[in-house]
Amino acid sequence: MFEYDFMRNGFVAAGIVAVLAGLVGYFLVLRGQTFAGHALAHVGFTGATGAVLVGGSPLWGMVLVTVAGGVGMGLIGERLQNRDVAIGVVLSMALGLGLLFLHFFTAYATQATALLFGNVLGVTTQTIFALLGLALVSLAGLGAIARPLLFATLQPELAQAKGVRLRLVAVLFLAVVALATAECSQIVGVLLVFTLMVCPAATAQLLTARLGAGLILSVVLALSQAWLGLVLAFYTDWPTSFWITALSGAGYLAATAWASSMTRM
Amino acid sequence: MHKSPRPADSTQAMRCYIILITMIRDRAGAQGNAVEVGDLTLALGGRAVLAGVSFTIAANEFVGVLGPNGAGKTTLMRALLGLLRPARGSIAILGAPVAFGNPAVGYMPQFRTAASGMRLRGWDFVAGAVAGHRWGLPLLGHADRAEVARVLALVDATALARRPLRDLSGGERQRLLLAQALLGRPKLLLLDEPLMSLDPHHQHAVVALVRDLQRELGIAVLFSAHELNPLLGALDRVLYLGGGHAALGAVDEVITGPVLSRLYGSEIDVIRLAGRIFVMSRGQAMERDHHGHADHEHV
């Protein structure tokens, strides 16, 4: 299967994105902000379709809009009383707008499917370099804020008293999440970003209570699910995104069952 | 025209003398007092929570901060941490003007439900606070790990730090929070309602633990609580907040009808019964007793 260019490219792209998603997703789940990640992907859809409409690249359109969305969300922060409702309203408006852009750009129905459900086997070498660059930027960002981010997540009041600027850390983190979301969309599509960003991290947190082990496990799970999904897609000819969602979903459910059986003992 | 130099000289001498006295007093303050508050007014949303309050707490005192809900206990602690700028007046912490992020001040906030549901183990929770304000990766060196081990041992939480947070009882979580507050060897410890939603047995265990640590480490502790009784016998002095004012002194001096009536500007009765103290306003208890703690979680 590795004699095909598209399979080699798919493996490399999925590998880069899975490592990033596993690490960023761990903090996203720990902070209870998974819905924000989901919302950013939807907002990104508008960016991607808008970029295509004006003749730009969907990846960069998505990056631009998700980062703006993430920073905006971080700045609004906890001032919004019903955050879930507000995010929900914004994301449905964003998807609707994306649909409108697609309507004006009727030529490519496959483009819409690729954006919504991913097209890892259509990744070009050029896109791989873009993905790698973006992943390095967001990992560097995450590395720079990881310590105060963890402190602010576990003990916000104490962190604030010890000099952590909570708002700044929240905004920077959501910018990192936005980049990771845009990357994930390239592999599994905007509708299924959850499957790489949230499922492996949540599974890891069910399986271990240790921070370091959890981060490693989250990456290992994301990576193995993405790659195994590609292998299964190759042999069955079913969509890759289906296999990745099936594997990560099954992994999460199995971990939930295991964790609850451990509590009952 | 020549004026006699004498009056000017004596004024100068007087001024030098005052500066000298001030320096000596400030030096004594640097060594002797944990908290010095002068004519302090704290306002929240335009409303004065405390108005013109002054008090001094020594470097090795265990002081209970008491008063009904909304009396300004948490607000005062936030001001002592430098998180709330006083509307008027001054605050000195360990002889220096109050500063945001002072490493010599340990703080134990009220426990948030967010962290209590986490599956992360206690050790990582405590360790997450080690120099957590610095940028970079949360990697701990040998000295940092030794510091986490030290504070966990101080509160006897070494074994329970191996368990996930969500599997711990309220009293066990309080011990981890206390360990976190002790990181970096603070000289002043601010504990915000550590007894909230604990049963009487665990309340007494927490009070005894804090008292022992305070003596062993020779530090100042401000311990806020709704209710005085669990703290009786452990406190050096009590800081009672009410009606925007404050009274600091021994329990028997402060928790009296006349002092509290003056604080509130209305009739307050203090009833002592079987070694416990009840503060009553028009026949109603102003501090709720142990059985009322289920209500506190909504506050």
Q: Are both B127 and B147 inside the same structural domain?
A: yes
Distance from CA of B203 to the nearest CA of A (A): 22
Task: Give one word for B102, left, alpha or beta, with left for phi > 0 and alpha for psi -120 to 50.
Answer: beta
d(CA A189, CA A25): 16
B96 belongs to a structural domain: yes
Q: Are both B127 and B262 inside the same structural domain?
A: no
Q: Are both B131 and B264 inside the same structural domain?
A: no
Q: Are both B130 and B82 inside the same structural domain?
A: no
B251 belongs to a structural domain: yes
Q: Are both B126 and B156 inside the same structural domain?
A: yes
d(CA A94, CA A86): 12
d(CA B87, CA B239): 21
d(CA B159, CA B92): 38
Domain extents for chain A? 5-190
**Does the pLDDT of residue B117 top 70, yes or no?**
yes
Indicate whether this complex's ipTM tops 0.90. no
B8 belongs to a structural domain: no
Tens digit of pLDDT per residue, chain A (265 long)?
778 888 999 999 999 999 999 999 999 999 988 888 888 888 888 898 888 888 888 889 999 999 998 888 888 766 555 567 777 777 788 888 888 888 887 666 677 788 888 888 888 899 899 999 999 999 999 999 999 999 999 999 899 999 899 989 999 999 999 999 998 888 888 888 889 999 999 999 999 999 999 999 999 999 999 999 999 999 999 999 999 999 999 999 999 999 888 876 5
Domain count across chain B: 2
Tokens (6 digits) for B288: 């709720």
Q: Are both B93 and B218 inside the same structural domain?
A: yes
Among residues B164, B184, B204, which one ends one of the domains?
A: B184
Interface of B with A in 121-140 (CB under 8 A): 121, 124-125, 127-129, 131-138
Q: Are both B49 and B98 inside the same structural domain?
A: yes
CATH number, domain with residue B56:
3.40.50.300
User: Residue A154 and residue B138: Cβ atoms within 8 Å?
Assistant: no
Q: Which helix (H) or strand (E) holds A61?
A: helix A58-76
- Give the structural domain span for B150: 116-184
User: Residue B109 and residue A155: Cβ atoms within 8 Å?
Assistant: yes
In chain A, which residues have their Cβ closer than 8 Å to the Cβ of B81? 161
Locus of tokens 């103290």: B277
B111 belongs to a structural domain: no
Q: Are both B88 and B221 inside the same structural domain?
A: yes
Q: Are both B190 and B267 inside the same structural domain?
A: yes
Q: Are both B279 and B156 inside the same structural domain?
A: no
In chain A, which residues have their Cβ closer than 8 Å to the Cβ of B164? 209
In a mutational test of the B interface, the residue from A145, A155, A203 whose CB has the highest number of chain B CBs within 10 Å is A155
User: Residue B132 and residue A147: Cβ atoms within 8 Å?
Assistant: yes
Distance from CA of A183 to the nearest CA of B (A): 23
Distance, CA of B5 to chain centre:
52
B234 belongs to a structural domain: yes
What CATH architecture is A5-190? Orthogonal Bundle (1.10)
B18 belongs to a structural domain: no
Task: Output the CA angle B7-B12-B13, nearest 5 degrees.
Answer: 100
Q: Are both B152 and B280 inside the same structural domain?
A: no
In chain B, which residues have their Cβ closer than 8 Å to the Cβ of A163? 100-101, 133
Q: What is the three-class DSSP state of A4?
A: coil
A104-123 per-position pLDDT tens digit: 876 666 777 888 888 888 88
